[in-house]
Structure 1
Amino acid sequence: MTAPAAVGLGDIAAQIAAIQSTIASLSARAAVATTAGSTTGVASSAAAFGAQYSSALASTTSSGPTAGTGSVTGDAVVADAKKYLGVPYVWGAESMSGIDCSGLVQATYKDLGISLPRVAADQAHEGTAVPSLAQAQPGDLLTFGDPAYHIAIYLGNNQLIESPEPGKTVHITDVYQTPTSIRRIVPAGPAAAPATTQVGGLSAAALTSAGLTPSVAAFAPQFAAAEAQYRLPAGMLAAVAQQESGGNPSAVSPAGAQGLMQLMPATAAGAGVNAFDPGQSIEAAAKILSGNLHRFNGSVPLALAAYNAGAGAVAQYGGIPPYTETQNYVRRIVAMMEAGG
């Protein structure tokens, strides 16, 4: 038997880049075919994360960054990337169900109106070169390998955010090796403040048009007021109520959770609220979700996972816990939030 020829790391990286490029090209064609003849609304309530569920592959043929890079800051890139914390690594994917390293980069910049190629090997040639990590600024791209087989977003203070490999989730870590190259996509220095996620204010009509039931939409004013007070993304509380109780203020789950927002008795007691009072239930849920967002760096998926499974479970697993119920819970609520834009 003839011994197989040795394959170097460079050969493997090149083969991976070629495969990724082919898949991205095929996916782009499928996305165009799927969306032909459809109409798509502009997400306002979930602008910062609604695009996570959109098909962004049709723009993969771009030869460079496009659209308003001058109005986007590196800090805005970092803030948007953090919304993907806890999303599991899935090769070739770029949604809240799963995302790979170059998908994280493309989705983050697309959320901010900047089009980048799909694969790391191509992203490594975008923007302008930065000489060393000492000159890097938040939002710069760190690439590894030539051609690049991995890519991450620099956060500053020698930290990066990445979607590393199968079995892991999007996370923040120290820069663990010297990047092969560093690319700057957004200009250095001060820029106009980026758009922020809309907080509070979805009407009953907007909620019902997104598929939420009239019984949930009936509480639209209370949801909007609490979202504005606690700086929650618009539509978040309504989507949670839809998933938790279907809009029934008298609901009691088999586990004993109560009311519109399905508070456990101990939770309601600790918050000093009556779980069966819709206004008090909404107020308590808003406080919990606001606390979760603060604890998990503004990540909507992790805040929702913590509401369902507990903040301790999210911290233990370093992301969305591997519970089917919780993963479906997060996926459904984020999808409802996107639809309510």
Structure 2
Amino acid sequence: MTVYEAQARMMEIRSRFGLPAPAPTGGGDAFAAALQSTMAAGRPVTGTAVVDAAKRYLGTPYVFGGNTPERGMDCSGLVQRVYADLGVRLPRVAKDQAREGTAVPGLAHARPGDLLAFGDPVDHVAIYAGDGRMIAAPHAGDVVKLQQVYETPTAIRRIVPTTALDPLATGALAAGALPAGALPAGALPAGALPAGALAGGAMVTAAALRPAALNGVPYAELFQQAGAKYGLSPALLAAVAKVESGYNPAAVSGAGAQGLMQLMPATARGLGVNALDPAQAVDGAARMLSANLDRFGSLDLALAAYNAGGGAVSRYGGIPPFAQTQAYVPKVKAAMEQLAGRGFA
């Protein structure tokens, strides 16, 4: 760990708890000074900050296995280094980095700072810079550079949150997340942090950056994004996933329904989605529920149509007299209430 990395991580920890920044000791480069100033002002890590940090390394030669500007960097070394500069721990290799954070359904929803992963299995990763461009360490003989996103990513992951960070409210700080002495005696009430949270280790994990409302709800950001896109409650989409599959993206029912949202193959084809891809499945299910609401004008009938088909709802003039459907509607509504009670709505 460099002196600048240690300073940056300590500054972030102090800023999160409203502690004053230590007086500058002189020396260091302009980036480190600017980073300290940003964190001292209490501003959380943002996607824009990630892009700015990445731009610091433009022109660094590509070196396989490298993760320092002095030695050179490969693609995942660049990503790991950039996030480390901002106090966020990521794995070293691209395929593991592509599983961090939360999924983004497509490039149209990507924001600066998101990770773009390529290949199946993943063999390349870059940082999205906005406007269809990314910062990457492409290959041997090249340098870290800003370039167009040249193909559709196989995965897009959001590492930094899109809402205000509140680690105390979320309980997101893990044991060992803060160094001893980072907080003055009496700064926090007893039990505010998990046992061991003030012992050793200055890094904050990527998991600790997730917004409070997302905690404990699998695929939460997918539900939020699709809800905003189609004018639905994210809790509705999450409740359907919970009742349909128990949040299992690989689930297959006896009738052949597939994936997180349990779409029948013919339904998935009609929606133009892969039912076993969580992002596509949530988007397709949201479109279907939105259309059901427009068609039938009530949540109960929209859910009944999701379960039994719109034709059955029209034929019976209401919730069809099928035991499964009769039980399905109240189950989903109860799950919605539970999610709303936990602050996910």
- The question of a shared fold, defined as TM-score above 0.5 by the shorter chain, is answered with no
Q: Give the TM-score taking structure 1 as reference length.
A: 0.37
